[in-house]
Amino acid sequence: MEIREIQEKIRKEEYEISFHAEKERYAENITISDLEAAIYNGKILEDYPDDPRGTSCLVLGYSQNRPIHIVCGYTPIKWIRLITVYTPKLPKWIDERTRRRGG
């Protein structure tokens, strides 16, 4: 996946938010505007080309100086699917760019 393509599809509103991402978004108080802003200034942090559910990637972006992780994949019609969203924090993340080993 390429960040420019993801950003373009978000701009064109060619994306959907999975049920899981919606639950996480509400739990973490992340708005749709936060998601869009984070993708617009985001970078791909990790690529998952061999994911059995389909190619996906982890995007790190910021909204109002808040780091947000967004896992993106494709729908069958090549829209972007936001699979999950969250604020990176311990125990899994040391900081927004560094995954904790064994955590």
Domain ranges of the chain: 3-93
> Would you give the DSSP letter of residue 66?
E
Record the pTM: 0.94
- Amino acid letter at 80? I
Residue among 102, 83, 91 nearest 6 (CA):
83
Q: Where are the alpha helices (DSSP H) in 13-95?
A: 19-27, 32-40
pLDDT tens digit string along 56-98? 999 999 999 999 999 999 999 999 999 999 999 989 999 999 9
Residue among 72, 66, 53, 52 nearest 7 (CA):
72
Can you name the residues that pair with 59 across neighbouring β-strands?
44, 70
